Chains A and B, each alone.
Chain A
């Protein structure tokens, strides 16, 4: 029952995020979608992922998008693309969703009873990260620093060039 509420919330947020005219409103509904998703994760028992989702997406990525919106003055001619491509896009999306739904419905792997709630304590995640996933941890650290410096230089570089 709780799951359906959060699922509905998430989908509503997502649909609103891509359909609202005002950019800032769409970002706020995107935040709603992320929060709904975090709640679903908590329901599924992955506490760490739920909180990480809020911390990363709601706390940082959404604010980044908002800053970008405010920095780039949209000059008013935004909105839906021409009517034709709108229908075409809708058609493709429905096709994609149809195939996925059919695949889920007919696959046989899902029919056995749900196993008991698995344990994902911080202790286990910590050790798993340090032991089995040590290499990916180092790589992700490297990647994040590279992305950070890259993003900063791209945005900052432009600043100095102004007269």
Chain B
């Protein structure tokens, strides 16, 4: 059970938990939380491979995680803004009721 494989195991566990959250919960906010978890699992993989991988001085893993954190934050902000605006119209955050395309 090398440290690298334990890291990968942890990140895959995190990924599946996040994936479960997205599948099983009906509240839009919890879906966003699931997505955040999945993104973090991916970041963990990058750092694990940077740490135990072949050419650590190239810092590619670290760079990629920095940019991925940035993108994830932007995505979260836009997602939450969408949820708020949908709530204003539909007065609900249940995704089942967000099926109509009308304005």
Which chain A residues have a beta carbon within 8 Å of chain B's beta carbons?
3, 7, 10-11, 14-15, 17-18, 23, 26-27, 30, 33-34, 37, 40-41, 44-46, 48-49, 52-53, 56-57, 60-61, 64-65, 67-69, 71-72, 74-75, 77-81, 85-86, 88-90, 92-94, 96-97, 100-101, 104-105, 110-111, 114-115, 118-120, 124-125, 128-129, 132-133, 136, 140, 143-144, 146-148, 150-152, 154-155, 157-158
CB neighbours of B83 from chain A (8 A)? 68, 72
B25 CB contact (under 8 Å) in A80, A120, A143, A158? A80
Chain B 15-44 interface 0/1 with A at a Cβ cutoff of 8 Å (1 = within): 111111101111101101110110010011
Interface of B is mostly: helix
CB neighbours of A27 from chain B (8 A)? 33
User: How many angstroms from the CA of A53 to the CA of B47 in the assembled complex?
Assistant: 12
**B34 → chain A closest CB, angstroms:** 6
CB neighbours of B98 from chain A (8 A)? none
Which chain B residues have a beta carbon within 8 Å of chain A's beta carbons?
2-10, 12-21, 23-27, 29-30, 32-34, 36-37, 40, 43-44, 47-48, 50-52, 56-57, 59, 62-63, 65-67, 69-78, 80-85, 87-88, 91-94
* Total residue contacts A-B, CB cutoff 8 A: 227
Whether B57 pairs with A118 at a CB distance below 8 angstroms is: yes
**A64 → chain B closest CB, angstroms:** 5
Whether A118 pairs with B51 at a CB distance below 8 angstroms is: yes
B69 CB contact (under 8 Å) in A40, A56, A78? A56
Whether B24 pairs with A18 at a CB distance below 8 angstroms is: yes
CB neighbours of B2 from chain A (8 A)? 110-111, 114
Whether B37 pairs with A86 at a CB distance below 8 angstroms is: no
CB-nearest residue of chain A relative to B69? A56
**A6 → chain B closest CB, angstroms:** 9
